[in-house]
């Protein structure tokens, strides 16, 4: 069984019962003109995780680890978008408004698609989620259990919002969760550092964190 040095201690996993959950590697968060920028964020801060996330995807594909992509997306009629989410803050463009990459955070719009380096391959599962967590109104738990998945490896954006929320949801459902450091990023580097620290604190209260090289070495 592959085993790696992680924080707070060794993490062991069986590739056949492990899935990679790549969170929201979408143009809406990573490129100018999308949801992230409309909220006032410097989206260039997320660029650093794109190449490591692509390497993590390639590693998992090469070793038969199931790959699941999530995207934060709403229906064009916004029936799945609570007003509290749409109206919060002082965004320059709100969810559903038309921006340079199409309607903000709306399923099927160009800006809602994945960045090319992290695009799903044929046959991989894509989960559209209306919330920050990957388990909220998605059926993800049922799909994972049907495949016998017990361990989840996480990457994606942003670390302290959708990645952390999804990892906490997964932890509460009994999955053994590992977050890969370089494959995730935040608009706020201090929030990323705090998230990694709080995940692994208290003996792994939410799960484990590890560098990509440690995960790769475990699979070699
Ligand atoms: C946010 C996300 N930050 N994918 N979404 O609104 O983290």
The arithmetic mean of pLDDT across residues 37-60, rounded, is 98
In this structure, of 87-91, 110-114, 186-190, the range with the lowest mean pLDDT score is: 87-91
Residue located nearest, by CA, to atom 4 of ligand 1: 162
Share of the chain above pLDDT 90, in %: 99
The confidence score (pLDDT) of residue 18 equals 98
Question: Which atom of ligand 1 is the closest one to the Cα of 187?
Answer: 3
- When pLDDT is cut at 50, 70 and 90, the band that residue 162 belongs to is very high
Give how many domains the chain has, as a whole number: 1
- Domain CATH number, residue 195: 3.40.50.850
**Which of 35, 162, 163, 186 most suits a substitution to test ligand 1, by most atoms within 8 Å of the C-beta?**
162
> HEC string of 78-144?
CCCCCHHHHHCCCCCCCCCCEEECEECCECCCHHHCECHHHCCCCCCEEEEECCCCCCCCCCHHHHH
The arithmetic mean of pLDDT across residues 143-165, rounded, is 98
Could you list the active site residues? 24, 129, 162
Whole-number mean pLDDT of the chain?
A: 98
Question: Which atom of ligand 1 is the closest one to the Cα of 24?
Answer: 4
The arithmetic mean of pLDDT across residues 123-131, rounded, is 98
Q: Global pTM?
A: 0.98
pLDDT, tens digit, 9 for 90 and up, residues 29-45: 999 999 999 999 999 99
> Is the shortest distance between the CB of 28 and ligand 1 below 6 Å?
no
Indicate the burial class of 123 (C-beta count within 10 angstroms; 0-12, 13-18, 19 or more): exposed
> Is the shortest distance between the CB of 53 and ligand 1 below 6 Å?
no
pLDDT, tens digit, 9 for 90 and up, residues 167-190: 999 999 999 999 999 999 999 999
Q: How far apart are CA 36 and CA 47, in angstroms?
A: 13
Question: Which atom of ligand 1 is the closest one to the Cα of 156?
Answer: 4
What residues are paired with 19 via a beta bridge? 66, 152
C-alpha 27 to ligand 1 mean position (Å) = 12
The arithmetic mean of pLDDT across residues 110-119, rounded, is 98
How far from 1 is each of 9, 13, 22, 56, 108, CA to CA, in Å?
16, 6, 23, 19, 40
**Which of 21, 22, 24 most suits a substitution to test ligand 1, by most atoms within 8 Å of the C-beta?**
24
**Which of 25, 36, 72 most suits a substitution to test ligand 1, by most atoms within 8 Å of the C-beta?**
72
ipTM: 0.96
Range of the domain at 166: 3-219
What is the residue whose two structure tokens read 């990892």? 167
The confidence score (pLDDT) of residue 17 equals 98
């Amino acid at each position: 069984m592959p085993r790696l040095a992680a924080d707070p201690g060794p993490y062991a996993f069986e590739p056949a019962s492990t899935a990679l959950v790549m969170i929201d590697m979408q143009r809406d968060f990573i490129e100018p003109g999308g949801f992230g920028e409309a909220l006032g964020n410097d989206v260039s801060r997320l660029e650093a995780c794109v190449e490591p996330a692509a390497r993590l995807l390639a590693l998992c594909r090469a070793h038969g680890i199931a790959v699941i992509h999530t995207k934060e997306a709403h229906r064009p009629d916004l029936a799945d978008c609570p007003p509290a989410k749409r109206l919060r803050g002082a965004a320059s463009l709100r969810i559903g408004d038309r921006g340079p990459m199409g309607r903000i955070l709306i399923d099927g719009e160009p800006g809602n698609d994945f960045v090319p380096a992290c695009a799903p391959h044929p046959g991989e599962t894509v989960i559209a989620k209306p919330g920050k967590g990957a388990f909220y109104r998605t059926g993800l738990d049922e799909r994972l259990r049907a495949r016998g998945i017990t361990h989840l490896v996480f990457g994606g954006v942003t670390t302290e919002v959708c990645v952390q929320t999804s990892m906490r949801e997964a932890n509460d459902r009994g999955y053994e969760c590992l977050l890969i450091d370089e494959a995730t990023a935040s608009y706020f580097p201090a929030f990323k550092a705090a998230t990694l620290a709080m995940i692994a604190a208290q003996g792994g209260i939410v799960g484990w964190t590890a560098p990509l090289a440690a995960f790769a070495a475990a699979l070699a």
